[in-house]
Structure 1
Amino acid sequence: MKPKVITIIGLGLMGGSLAARCRKRYPSARIIGVSRQKQALALALRKKWIHRGTRNLSDAVIDSDLIVLCTPADTTFRFLKLLDAAAKPGAVVTDVGSVKERIQAWADSRRFKRIRFVGGHPMAGSHHRGIAAAHEDLYHKSTVFLVKSAATKPDAFRLVRSFWKQIGCRTVTLTGAAHDRIVAEISHWPHAVAAALVLATTSHSRRYAASGFLDSTRIAQGDPSIWMPIFMQNRREILRAAGSFEKRLRAFKTLLAKKNVSGIRAFLAQALRERRQISF
């Protein structure tokens, strides 16, 4: 079943881009946007990404078949409670948050009266923020992780999976724990590394930075208010990823200190081979 009314809560980069995509991929659906920012609502309406915009959550979800939370990770718990009191019975709720185990366990332990929750996380984004940076193609060909547990309602899961496929994404089903381990390695810890690379250089050296340094540190421009709850919620897996990274870094430092040319060459060659195996 295709949703007839889709409500997107949070019209920043992620929510604004999703609204734009929904208008193209769900032309017969009614798209409602929710934001605290009047400017975001005005822009989304002007671009015709949404049919209606409101700051009133209850009013926005009363007829919604599908509700997508595009808000910071530390707001998901609060919004699910509010939605369970305001949404129509049977409404499906999903999200775009990048930490899943904790919220899924919490959702599984609750007896929601109205909503059915399916955790999601599209691997899409940018260091830019706000609806001004939103664009229709942000999610194009992205991977979307969908969390499935014993408590997940099968029909709700099918609707969310179908939704993301219609948006143009590839879906991968896994547990919250498996998700958090993966993204700690390929997203969360790399963000900390990018920040450390910036802080490890002097302002004088950075004057001469070229594409290599700029590419390696681009994500350090991310908004700290978005990343802080991510680091705190996925702390255990990020620390595990940090330990693995430190082990590799120590190995390289030892090779360099000992002037082990063949060892350094092998280290770099292995990284080259494995990096080339990554497909986009």
Structure 2
Amino acid sequence: MKKIGVLTSGGDAPGMNAAVRAVVRKGIYHDLEVYGIYGGYAGLISGNIKKLELGSVGDIIHRGGTVLYSARCEEFKTKEGQQKGIEQLKKLGIEGLVVIGGDGSYMGAKKLTEQGFPCVGVPGTIDNDIPGTEFTIGFDTALNTVIDAIDKIRDTATSHERTFIIEVMGRDAGDIALWAGLAGGAETILVPEENFSMDDICDRLKKGSERGKKHSIIIVAEGVGSGVEISQKIKELTNYDTRVSVLGHMQRGGSPTASDRVLASRLGARAVELLIEGRGGRAVGIVKNELVDYDIIEALETKKHEIDMGMLKLSKELSI
């Protein structure tokens, strides 16, 4: 293999640039030509592809977002769109592709792999919802952004003696809510992986009030529903004064933490090694601080992301 490509797709995540840097410099170290595909799969179809040099990825390891940009692409979901992308790669003699992104990005890599073009997936999403890896690039940075917000909101919650509901991202996964809630000392954490009762939430608020507690923090994963709607239900059942903060896309931004930079560097470099070894159709991850790789098709078709229910139980025990 002499030429490889790299693209980022789906929602951006802090640390994607560190992964791109690792792919480019690891590739060049092994005498490969590395090409950047700009604008995700849409850029692949349109041929927005440029050769990258060592200097192309200088001073990006600390930057959030992705210098290769990202975009949704409905056309790439079709076989015709996928063939267009493969033809663009073949024009330049690119023989393998590193795809950095979430499960939608992995699905694109899976489709290319099924058509005989070797791809390796690198998990880049703040949601931490990719099967086969304990952590995804961007999760730790987003988590720390949320914790910082919780700390600030707790200050004003204390001052005004109110219950604050903080809605966080994560799509259908509750990892951000769970980890941030436990680290931030939230009284209640609502995640899509566990059913909840409004009566139980209100009972916890009442018990806290009865023992003299002046404020509460409730973390709501977006996959559960709207923080505003939950606030309204609490108001109806208890008449407690609540406020809602929806953190939104600020969770995707910011300079990546040291943990995300190291993780991205390790995963990006391993993806290049797999292509050099002729092992396309794989995805890389980290389990017990060891790099792993697995069949990308099998992972998407058979594995399911799960959260640590023991941590959720612990959060309830510590927030009595």
TM-score under structure 1 length normalisation: 0.37
Which structure features the higher share of strand residues? 2
Q: More relative contact order in 1 or in 2 (CA 8 Å, sep 6+)?
A: 2
Structure whose residues are more often helix by fraction: 1
